[in-house]
A and B are shown apart, each in its own frame.
Chain A
Amino acid sequence: MIKIIKNILTFLVIFLVIGEITVRLKNGVSDIPQRQIDEFGIQKYYPNQQGFWRGGTHAWNINELGWPGYLPKNYDNLISIIGDSFIENFMNPNDCHQSVFLKENAPKYNFIEAGRSGVSFIEGMEISKQLNKFKPITNLIYVNDADFYQSLVEVAPAEDITQFSLESDSIVLGKMKSPLLKKILYNWKFAYYMYNKKI
């Protein structure tokens, strides 16, 4: 009996190691960039990260401002594009981001993106305040219907996004949700792969 248990444990250890190696080699799961809350209470990514989208067909990168995609070559005639996962756009290569497309169609303008999945309308407004330091000629905030009511604590309370409280007439900053657990899960690729597969 002890021999069987020892064999099972040995196999499990080998399986976990092989699982981790193979999932990393084949990019079985997307690399997930690590997030932080900056000094203004905005939840964004740690700057200068890189990783692969699932399958390893393209890489994403986080720029030095902590947002996905390229930074503009210069900041004249700047337009900011703020929004949720549609702007974040990890599923497409950097060359397929909105800023690249808009630059091609309107070459005399420059574009800067600030996207993060789950951003509410209020959070988009807060991000725009931060980007004002680059003196953009305008801020474009991409929103869906849900982003408006999800901006209100009293309507759709959510701890991890920045919202507005009608009762206290103030901004309620979002908090990181289980940061340690996420850090472990996203770095332990095999566990994250199994979690995604619902095995």
Chain B
Amino acid sequence: MDYFVGIKIDSSDDKKLRKYWLWGSVGFNLALLGFFKYYNFFVDSWVDMLSAIGYNTTSSWTLRVILPVGISFYTFQTMSYSFDVYYKKLKPTKDYLTFAAFVSFFPQLVAGPIERASNLLSQIVKKRTFNKQQSVDGLKLILWGLFKKIAIADSLSPIVDDIFTNYAHYPASTLILGVTLFSFQVYCDFSGYSDIAIGTAKLFGIELMSNFKFPQFARNVAEYWQRWHISLSTWFRHYLYIPLGGSRGSKLKSIRNISIIFLVSGLWHGANWTFVFWGAFHAVMFIPVFLMGRNAIYKDSVVAQNSIFPSLTEIGQLILTFAIVTFSRIFFRSETITDSFIFIKRIFTDFSFATYQHPLGYRMIDYYVLVILFVIYEYIIRKDERSPFKFKSKYVRYTIYSLVIMAMLLYYDASADQSFIYFQF
């Protein structure tokens, strides 16, 4: 569909016609996404609403369809193609195979980064030759991605699953531990996948965009969104926020646009009110930063830009931002919105402390040490997300490779083997 739409948009000079073709493409893509991902959500929500006002009814409209893996990612990627052609940023390809390769480029097909046609398509068309340095860099990123996925995300998974499943039986200290570890789990799981995808693409001579830039070191919520799932947040900025007017109009209009972006972003993640609340919560946290004019002040810098250690102010900012983002993950991880609110209520009304025991009987201290060392290491490499092992001394590099490989061996648990979290989106 988008292949033909691209050609049609390009071949026409009639503004109206071009717009019709674009809306045709957007409508078709959103219809597919809506059918597979949101149809049951809206039917169920409608039924729930009727029940709430006294019309008890059951739904016979709910469908039993399997959600295609990664549908949100490649739908957005193909839509970006139509948009770029429409905005004349890109000439459409006339070669269907090239277009198909762009849509189905396997490393990033199921969980991104959501590439722009202007970046990926041009590289697919270009003749590529083997580049040793690029391949070595790719292998390093793959190793780092595997470490994040296997040693951290998967090893934390049984703990997080246990705490979120049995949250009603745990004290507040354990719930805080659970959501904090989930923050690291989801970051390592998703950024690990992105690193593997970017690294694999490098082996084919293709450079994908960065998807994460150490979001745990963001100094406010706005900076966090410049560092987390960059390919999606920039997609929304380019193709939704700016067309809606961005921040050019009145403050009220800007606030409306920001709210729309975050609500849509929440819905993009899944057909569940938990994601809508998650998006809304981020909008509420983002808007004050925007109103204070601090949403772009950290755009071109990292924490402790010209020093080894962050200042006290920066430490405070990091902790506050991390706390806000981690709190929002209660919505992200809970099964239902009711679970989210009970989880939060227990944190605030039942504050007590108890030592947490690993559900599989392992030593918890090993996991705390792993996470702390990981944060310290990411802090050290915080200026370049594409080079996780950028050390001059080969002895240092070899030591870190060894540590990373050993961590994967020692923390890997076949019983806790998990697929990537973002595959469900």
Contact = CB atoms under 8 A, between A and B. Distances in A.
Interface of A: 7, 10-11, 14-15, 17-19, 22-23, 26-28, 55-57, 193, 197
A92 to B, nearest CB: 11
Interface in B93-122: none
Contacts of B401: 11, 15
A159 to B, nearest CB: 34
- Identify which of A14, A19, A57, A193 gathers the most chain B CB atoms within 10 Å of its CB: A14
A78 B409 CA distance: 46
A14 B403 CA distance: 10
Given A22-B403, A23-B406, A10 B363 contact: no
Contacts of B348: none
B361 A22 contact: no
B366 interface: yes
Contacts of B239: none
B136 to A, nearest CB: 13
A10 B394 CA distance: 9
A19 B398 contact: no
Nearest to A21: B406
A197 B409 contact: yes
B165 to A, nearest CB: 22
Contact of B399 (A14, A28, A55, A57): A14
Contacts, number: 43
Given A11-B398, A18-B402, A19-B402, A28 B410 contact: yes
Interface in B376-404: 394-395, 398-399, 401-403
A18 B363 contact: no
B402 A15 contact: yes
A18 B362 contact: no
B407 interface: yes
B366 A26 contact: yes
Contacts of A19: 402, 406
Given A55-B362, A56-B363, A22 B406 contact: yes
A16 to B, nearest CB: 9
A10 B405 contact: no
A26 B406 CA distance: 10
Contacts of B403: 18, 22
A19 to B, nearest CB: 6
Interface size range on B against A: 10 to 19
A197 B405 CA distance: 14
Interface of B: 361-363, 366, 394-395, 398-399, 401-403, 405-407, 409-410
Given A22-B410, A26-B366, A15 B395 contact: no
A26 B410 contact: yes
B407 A10 contact: no
Contact of A14 (B362, B398, B407, B410): B398
Contact of A7 (B363, B366, B394, B402): B394
A119 B405 CA distance: 39
A79 B363 CA distance: 35
A28 B362 CA distance: 11
Contacts of B361: 55, 57
A11 B400 CA distance: 11
7 contacts: A17-B402, A18-B406, A19-B402, A23-B410, A27-B363, A55-B363, A197-B409
A22 B405 CA distance: 11
A56 B362 CA distance: 8
- Identify which of B361, B394, B406 gathers the most chain A CB atoms within 10 Å of its CB: B406
Contacts of B362: 55, 57
Contacts of A7: 394
B144 to A, nearest CB: 17
A91 B402 CA distance: 30
A10 B402 CA distance: 11
Nearest to B362: A55
A22 B399 contact: no
A170 to B, nearest CB: 46
A25 to B, nearest CB: 9
Contacts of A10: 394-395, 398
A19 B405 CA distance: 9
Nearest to A17: B402
A28 B361 CA distance: 14
Given A7-B394, A10-B398, A15 B363 contact: no
A26 B368 CA distance: 12
A19 B402 CA distance: 7
Given A18-B402, A28-B409, 6 more contacts: A14-B398, A14-B399, A23-B406, A55-B361, A56-B366, A57-B361
Contacts of B402: 11, 14-15, 17-19
Contacts of A18: 399, 402-403, 406
Closest 7 CB pairs between A and B? A18-B402, A22-B406, A15-B402, A14-B398, A11-B398, A26-B410, A56-B363
